[in-house]
Amino acid sequence: MNNLIAFIHKMNLLVWIVGIFVAHALLYLLLETRSWLATSLLATAFYAVVLFALKSWASRQIKNREGNR
C-alpha cells in the first residue's frame, strides 16, 4: 500500500490528463462518434477530478505518516 500511495503522490497530473485525453480522443474518433471532442473532454474532466482526489488523499497520507514519526 505504501508503494501505491508513493506512486500516486509522485505522479504528474498534467501528463496523465493529456494521455487520458489523447486515448479518449482516439477511441471516439475510431468509433466515429460525432461529438468526439465534447465526449473526450467530458471523460477527461471526470478522470481529472478522480486523479486530483487521489493525489490529495495520497498527500494527506504521506503528511500524516511524517507527523507520526
pLDDT tens for the chain, 69 residues: list them. Answer: 888 888 998 999 999 999 999 999 999 999 999 999 999 999 999 999 999 999 999 999 988 888 776
The whole-number pLDDT of residue 15 equals 96
Amino acid letter for position 36: W
The structure's pTM equals: 0.83
Q: Give residue limits of the domains in the chain.
A: 2-68
Gap between the Cα atoms of 67 and 61, Å rounded: 10
The whole-number pLDDT of residue 69 equals 66
Contact 24/44 with Cβ under 8 angstroms?
A: yes
